[in-house]
Amino acid sequence: MLLPVRKYSLKVLLLLLIAGVWASTLYAQEQQPYSAKSGAERVQELQKACRSLDSALIAGDTITLDLLLDEQVRFKHSNGWEETKKDLLDHIRTGYLHYTKITQPDSAGITPWTGKKGGYWHDHFVERSLYVTGVIAGSPFEVKLKTREHWIWKNTGWRLADRESIKLD
């Protein structure tokens, strides 16, 4: 009686193994490593990551923010306030900080950083001018900023490692 169950279990296990290998092959083709992408593709993906960051901040999408932010990220605000990843996610989850609008009048200027890792460029700085509105601790704010963001390539995507902001008049 146990023999037919074993044969059936082995067939199911083999099918699951084949399906898993097939699915991981498809995923690997879609998610190319950094080194397999052209410079233009990397810049486009980085600009997309910048837009995704802005959209996630406005929407309060902590899941997307968790994916886009490096574990060691620091947000250095124009007033001297500094937030860690945990701080930012907690402030958004609790409603202490809510962004209502983030607009970028100019396109992102992307400059490769001089640090090489593994023979490929894995770091880029993005400087952006932003107009930001929102509410912090119940008080509305509106500010024009110049930001300098340090993005790093990890696994299959860009992660924000550091962001500094200065207030523009």
What local confidence, expressed as pLDDT, does residue 26 receive?
A: 35
Q: How far is CA 32 from the centre of its chain?
A: 17
What local confidence, expressed as pLDDT, does residue 101 receive?
A: 97
* pTM of the shown model: 0.73
Query: Domains in the chain, ordered, with CATH?
Result: 38-168 (3.10.450.50)
- One DSSP character per residue, 30-85 reads HS--GGGS-HHHHHHHHHHHHHHHHHHHHHT-HHHHHHHEEEEEEEE-TTS-EEEH
Tokens at 67, concatenated:
């994916």
Give the closest residue to 164 by CA, choosing from 130, 114, 119, 123. Answer: 130
**Residue-wise pLDDT tens for the chain (169 aa)?**
444 545 556 565 554 455 444 444 333 334 455 556 667 777 788 888 999 999 999 999 999 999 999 999 999 998 899 999 999 999 999 999 999 999 987 665 565 554 555 444 577 888 888 999 999 999 999 999 999 999 988 877 899 999 999 999 8
Q: Check: CB of residue 158 under 8 Å from CB of residue 146.
A: no
What local confidence, expressed as pLDDT, does residue 120 receive?
A: 46
What local confidence, expressed as pLDDT, does residue 123 receive?
A: 77
What local confidence, expressed as pLDDT, does residue 23 receive?
A: 40
Tokens at 29, concatenated:
């083709």
Q: Which residue has the tokens 């997307």?
A: 64
